Structure formats: C-alpha cells, structure tokens
A and B are shown apart, each in its own frame.
Chain A
C-alpha cells in the first residue's frame, strides 16, 4: 500500500475531547481534498469510560477503517494498555507524559513521542484544552496541514467567543512547539493537500436523515435507541425546514403505528431504530404488508440479542428483517455499505416503499452509524423521486383492485369518491373482509408477487473483479468496504479472487448469486454475526450449497487483513 494512506487512532477517557480532536483532524483532511473514513467506539456509560476515534485518510478512496493504526495518541494509561498489543515495531505513539497518569512501557521498536498534554493544559489554566495540545503535536509530527487545521478550530470555537478560541489556539501552538522539539524518526505523514474537492463529510446516521429529506420525507416518528438516535436528531433539525414533522413517540410500536397512519394519509413516512425496536415493530410490519401501505424502517444494527452490546457493531438482524414476521409477510430489505450509501439507499427505500406499497427495511449498522466519511456533495436534483400509484378518480374505487402489475392505486383521505377501508383483515378487492380459502391464497400470492419484479428492476449486484476466480467473496453491509480492499490486495498479488456485493437483501436476486458462484471455485461469506445469517439464506435460497461462512461477533468490524488471511487459507 502506498504510504499516503495513514491511520491515526486517538484514545482516552470519554469527555477528554477525543471525539472533537478526531473530528478536527477529519475535517482538516477533508478540506484539503483528502478522503476520510473514521471509526469510533463509545462506552455504553454516559460519563467517562474508554473512548476511541480512528481517522483513516488518503489521497485515494478509502473503503473501511483499515487494519490497524500507524499513529496512536494515548490520552491516558488505560488507552495505552488497551492498544499496546496492536503496536508493532515502527508504530508511532504520542502520549501524555510527563504529568499524565502513566509512564508507558513502550514495546520493542515502537517510536514514542512524549508530550506533556495534561501538564501544559494545566499550566495554561485550561484543563479542557488537553486535546488541543495533543492536536498541535500531532499536526506538526504527522503533517496535518496546520493552516487548515487552525481554520477548522477557528470556525468551531468562534461561536464560543474570543476567550475560548484564543485559549484553544494557544494550547494548540504549545502542542505544536512540544511536538516540533522531538526529532521525527517514523515515516508517517498525512498525504499532501490535494486541492479542495466538492465533498461533504457526514456520519452514517445523519446521512440516513439527509437521504430521507432528499427523498421527500414528510413525517418521521422516533423513539431513541443507540445506535440509531442520531438519525432522528438530524431529521428533527432539518425536516421542519421542508415543512415536515418529526415526533418522538412513546415507544417503537407507536412509532411504526404513526408511520402507518401518516402513510395512509398520503405522506412519505419513516422511522429509524435498532434491533430491539425492530422486534417491537414486527406485528405492525405485518399490518403494512396486509394493508399494502408504504413504510420505511431503518434498522441501525447493534450487538444482540436483548440489550446486548448497545454501542457495538454487529450485522445480526438479517433474520429479523427478512423473516421477523407472523403469517406470510413479504417485505423488501436493503442494506448499506458506507455513508454515501446511507444517503442514496434512504432515498431508494422511500421510493421502493411507494412503488411497491409494502414495508421496506434498510439495514445499517453500529460502525456506520458514527463513522464520518467524505464523498462527493450530493446533487438533490439528480435523485429520482417516486410517488405511489394513485387512483385517477375514474369509475368505482376499489382499494385492493387486481391490476396487471398487482399494484392497486391508492386514494388519499380527502379524495372525492375514494372512501374505503384499509385493513389488517384478509379482504377482497374492496377491502371488505373475505376469508374464503381461494381468496386468501389469491391475496397472499398478490402480496408476494407484486414485489417480485424488484429483483430484475433493481440495479445488478456489483461484482469486483472479472473472469473466473478461485475464491468468490459474498458479503453485505459495511463488511463490503472491508472486502473491497481485501480483494484489491489479493488481486494485486495475482490471486484470483472476486467480490459480490448485494444491496437488495430480500427478495434475493437468486440468479445473480448463482451466476456469480458459477464463476468461482469456492465461496466465502464473511459477516459480523454468530450464525452466518447471509450464509443461511444462500444455502436455503440458491443452488450454492457449499459456501464457507466466516463469522465474527466481537463487537468490531472485520479488517481487510483478516479477509486476506482467511482467503489465503482457503486458497492453500
């Protein structure tokens, strides 16, 4: 890998400004045209606790958080100890010394840069600017463009008044001085400025919110749950600008019920939650299916079951999203790969719900939720916006009319002549209850068949690499970004490896899976859950019977190195 790809990890106690220093570095890199992919972990506790922020930046596109860090900045002894095993000869470590809470015992070959962060902040009588001292040192030691960084800081602190701004700038300058006093003996540098690009930098949850607003959302009903809450935070702030409404409901059951009611009123409506909330919504999702009402749920997955690992990454709600229903209850399930996808897919999710008049679930995950990434500034006019098929007012209105494409026109309340019942009972074309065996079979088939065309209409599954391969890797969600880089590396070594990256999880594009597998010797399916949930569907739905699951569930995403290693094991 070209060494313009750099990974800096900052860690310490929550509340020490770890997140803001990470955000400042990320913003400074993004402003000078570098690509940025950040990764964060938080404690589940409100105050204190170990907190980590990792910034990967490069002049090339970055697909994931990387294997490990090149540069580590330890705000305290706990952070140092927790990361010590990841340090290899050559790793650069900036740490709070003297005056911090520890005296590190640096592993063999690790290059240390002691910076008295706490002491300097104390001398400046500004305890909260410890992170600014660290930032100053990091900037000079690792080529983080100083002028831009100062501009980022100025923009950020200007709101808080001159006094605070100057204190922070002073701490930053002091840190720079302390950093410059060291002789640099490691090779790590942030890539040189590329010239400003037309990009935005945003986290996955906000990106879902942005997608929702671009997609024409009218109504959002929220119930707080980690790691999904920031979706609502973003929407609450910006939806009123478009005249829309966000309300916080009393629970997820109410949220999804309100989405149903709003959608029935003819508006685009959605909610966002995590696994426990999606589980509570299961009954109402059946109501969406039965009453053929459009609705969107974004599930930002976390470690489960039960309260599980609320702040940690996992991809373990695929079963729930696809099968978590009573009765025969078809729905459409999509997944997102990265933050840009969070925008695009939310627009698509709203569109698809409108088009097929059914519940749509988008699976995001805990690592994307808080990951900030750079990508080209979206152009709202470039998105296609789909609206539901509405009744044309001709003839007698039947809510569940059997049409050629099985999509029955809807009539918003207020429409003259469109009176009808939307119902969770099995019904005939008018909506009146109808329990005959023939009718239930007919209607069940309608509900399944009407969404089938999406398999062919949706864009083909992206395949990385051409020709035949010895190993084909099928993966989903944010693991795609990890596999992309692994496939790149393996192919660069001349190994015959390909990747297959579905976004439409259900209904499954079975033919495409099978066609891909036909070009591959072995199929590897990495995913972050214990059971191998996608592997399960591949076995049950396709003719691929011998795929090899690769599952982890330690609360962290895969790294490209893990995929490379496992693929090589399979190859040998």
Chain B
C-alpha cells in the first residue's frame, strides 16, 4: 500500500468507525475482522482522507460502510478490478478491497490472479466463511463437501479450492491467513499487509453461524495452527509447502495461521512510472509533437 497515506494521523481504532453500525447477524465472524481492520488502521496511522476501500457484493462486502474512509460499494466480484483502477490512477492513495469467498474466488476469481501477478499496490482482505451468506447459504468455492446447503441438499459435489495456494501460484507478494476468532492476529496480519508495498492478500476464516452450520467457531479454532517459528516467509517453496493441505502428519487436515509469504518486488505502478519517465512524460508534453507524427 502507498506509504504516502501511512503515519499521517493519530486515531484510535474507534475513530475509524463510521456512523453506520454493522448489519451482520449476532455471532458473525465478520465483526472480528472488522475490529482487526480498525486496529490495523489505527496502529499504522492511515489517513482516512487518503484511504479508498472498495467492495463487491456479499455480507462481507458491506464492510466499507462501517469504516470512515473513501469507499466504493461496487459489483459482485469486481471490487478488486475497480481498486486496481483507483490505485493506478492515483498512486498516493491507500487502496484496499474487502469481500467474501464467493465474491473473490467465484465470480471474481478471474481477477484475483492478475492483481497478484501484476503486483498491484493494494491490500485484499478476503472474508472466508465457506458460504454465500448474503444470498442465504449456497455453497462457495471454499465450502467443504460435507456442507449441505441451499443448492446442495445432498452435500457438496465439488472439492474446495485452496486460497493460499491459488494466490501463491499467481505470485502475490504478501500472503497471510488468519481467523476472525483471533482479532489481534487479524489486526497484525492486516497491518503488515497494509504496510507491504505490493499486492497483499489476507485470507481470514470467518464463521457464518446463520448459514454455514458445520464451520463453527470451534471448527475453525481446531482447524488453524500458528505458522511455525522457523518458517521462512521469504522462501516461496516453503510457503507453498506450508499452504499445501497435508493428509498425514501432525498438521494433517489443518491450515496455517500467520504470515505465509512476503517478498519485495516492483509494483505495476513502479513499472508504469518507469515507462513514463523513459519517454520524458509530463502532463504538459506538447500535444503538437504527437499530432505531427501523423503528417503524411
């Protein structure tokens, strides 16, 4: 994210709350993530005037309404692409996208690889509850086959995807995973993600007690384990190995929580600026010079 927007203000986590109270069900994991987000923004001193949060559609995509910042509530699956445009158009802004597993990995699944690959200088927080909450409980790309839901009365016919592997494969330069039941860890990983220059992706497990009745808060508590101390997040191979679901051994069937991978790399914005600099680009470049190239 843009450093220009960091360390600008002294605000408590509460100060980032907008007047709109969250509309989520009691016990929804999204509350925990939101609290983590407030705390991360506060700890980094992010200037709300220079923060743009975009979202798509879903319960999680309502998040921007609850944060004091500039924000766009856009279309299902497209928020990351919208944020890409905002970031490239004004690199001084801090740009963030929030949304669900359906939003980011199903309908918007075609955009995720490219934000990662292009290393767009932004933060993407994915609220992964293994379900489509807003549309009242259909299975999502991260649902377990055991989930009997709206359109899967006999159980899920499909294998879930692995969000971490997906983003690592496409070379996201910051990949982390957290769980809504641990707001402090959420805050820490979001904070590091925001401070990271380049595309940062944070997958956060979040229980939906209303529609996903099998992925309970207790289920997630048992599912996650903290990334081992000796894990080297700059090692992509090790990160991929960590992200891989194991069938045997002590972490069989479990998922890591913490920083999985981080690497410094030029952002798309840096490269674009290079092109501009190479041609001596400036807003007052003489238009006649361009027009003259079309003389016969």
A residues bordering B, Cβ < 8 Å?
Answer: 26-28, 30-31, 152, 199-202, 206, 210, 213-214, 218-219, 221, 238, 240-245, 247, 249-251, 253-254, 257-267, 269, 283-284, 287, 291, 374, 377-378, 380, 412-425, 432
Contacting residue for A199 out of B282, B287, B290, B295, CB 8 A: B295
> Which residue of B is nearest A268, CB measured?
B89
Q: Given the interface contacts A245-B89, A377-B295, does A254 sit within 8 Å of B52 by beta carbon?
A: no
> Which residue of B is nearest A246, CB measured?
B272
Chain B contacts for A377, CB-based, 8 A: 291, 295
Contacting residue for B290 out of A26, A213, A260, CB 8 A: A213
CB <8 Å contact, A257 and B72: no
> Which residue of A is nearest B73, CB measured?
A423
CB <8 Å contact, A269 and B282: no
CB-CB contacts of B254-283 with A at 8 A, as 1s and 0s?
A: 000000000000001000100110111111
Chain A contacts for B278, CB-based, 8 A: 240
Contacting residue for A265 out of B74, B89, B294, CB 8 A: B89
Residue B252 is within 8 A (CB to CB) of chain A in the complex: no
Q: List 5 A-B contacts (CB under 8 A).
A: A26-B296, A242-B283, A261-B84, A263-B85, A266-B89
Question: B271 → chain A, closest Cβ, in Å?
Answer: 10
Residue B183 is within 8 A (CB to CB) of chain A in the complex: no
Chain A contacts for B239, CB-based, 8 A: none
CB <8 Å contact, B74 and A242: no
Chain B CB count within 10 A is highest, among A263, A267, A419, for: A419
A247 vs B275: C-alpha distance when bound (angstroms): 12
CB <8 Å contact, A201 and B279: no
Question: B3 → chain A, closest Cβ, in Å?
Answer: 15
Chain A contacts for B65, CB-based, 8 A: 421, 432
CB-CB contacts of B68-110 with A at 8 A, as 1s and 0s?
A: 1111111100100111111111101100000000000000001
CB <8 Å contact, B49 and A416: yes
Chain B contacts for A423, CB-based, 8 A: 72-73
Residue B219 is within 8 A (CB to CB) of chain A in the complex: no
A242 vs B282: C-alpha distance when bound (angstroms): 5
CB <8 Å contact, A413 and B90: yes
CB <8 Å contact, B280 and A260: no
Chain A contacts for B289, CB-based, 8 A: 241
Question: A4 → chain B, closest Cβ, in Å?
Answer: 18
Q: Given the interface contacts A267-B90, A421-B64, does A250 sit within 8 Å of B294 by beta carbon?
A: no
Residue B50 is within 8 A (CB to CB) of chain A in the complex: yes
CB <8 Å contact, A261 and B92: no
Q: Besides the contacts A245-B276, A261-B89, A266-B90, what 10 more A-B pairs have beta carbons closer than 8 Å?
A: A240-B272, A245-B88, A254-B114, A257-B81, A259-B85, A261-B81, A261-B82, A263-B85, A267-B89, A421-B71
CB <8 Å contact, B90 and A242: no
Chain B contacts for A418, CB-based, 8 A: 49, 70
Question: A398 → chain B, closest Cβ, in Å?
Answer: 14
A452 vs B86: C-alpha distance when bound (angstroms): 29
CB <8 Å contact, B88 and A258: yes
Q: Given the interface contacts A31-B296, A219-B88, A259-B85, does A419 sit within 8 Å of B74 by beta carbon?
A: no
CB contact list, B41-79 vs A, under 8 A: 48-52, 54, 64-65, 68-75, 78
A420 vs B85: C-alpha distance when bound (angstroms): 18
